Amino acid sequence: MRIHSHLGLLVKCLVLVIVFGQAARGGVLVPDDRNDELYQLYDNSYALLIGVSEYTSGWDDLSSIPGELELVEKVLKDHGFVVEKHVNRDPRVSLDSEQLKAKFSNFINRYGYNQSNRLLFYFSGHGHTWVEGG
């Protein structure tokens, strides 16, 4: 199980490096098809990282999440992102669905209405669906 979680973390970090490998500080440079010159696609890059590692009511704790989010944060900062991170380490202060929605809404309200901003959302924790058969 521990090997599986470390392998998953490694894959996630590699994907982030590949996806953002061409990023300029704070923005992304892309080629213009008309003249082969580079132009900046985004002026600013913002990431919201949320990790829930401590659980109650029969859910297993996920002790690797704080370290995972630190690695993801480092990779993103190295590629020009401004990172906002929220990790619960105490099940008594767990983020419920309303608090999660508020974190996303506040983040979008601050950064999401500027067309030159790039937003990235990263959640790590248990998941559950209420959809039957889902």
> pLDDT tens digits for 17-44?
444 444 444 566 777 778 878 877 788 9
- DSSP strand pairing (81-88 vs 38-42): unpaired
Q: Residue 104 corresponds to which amino acid?
A: F
Smallest Cα–Cα separation from 25: which of 78, 84, 71, 85? 78
As a whole number of angstroms, the distance between CA 15 and CA 86 comes to 21
d(CA 101, CA 57): 21
Task: Give the model confidence (pLDDT) of 76-90 as tens digits.
Answer: 999 889 999 988 765
Strands annotated E in the chain: 23-24, 27-31, 38-42, 44-52, 81-88, 117-124
Q: CB-based contacts of 65: which residues, under 8 Å, 6+ apart?
A: 51, 52, 53, 87, 124, 125
**Mind listing the pLDDT tens digit for each residue in 84-113?**
998 876 555 567 778 888 999 999 999 999
Give pTM, 2 decimals.
0.69
**Domain spans, the chain:** 2-124
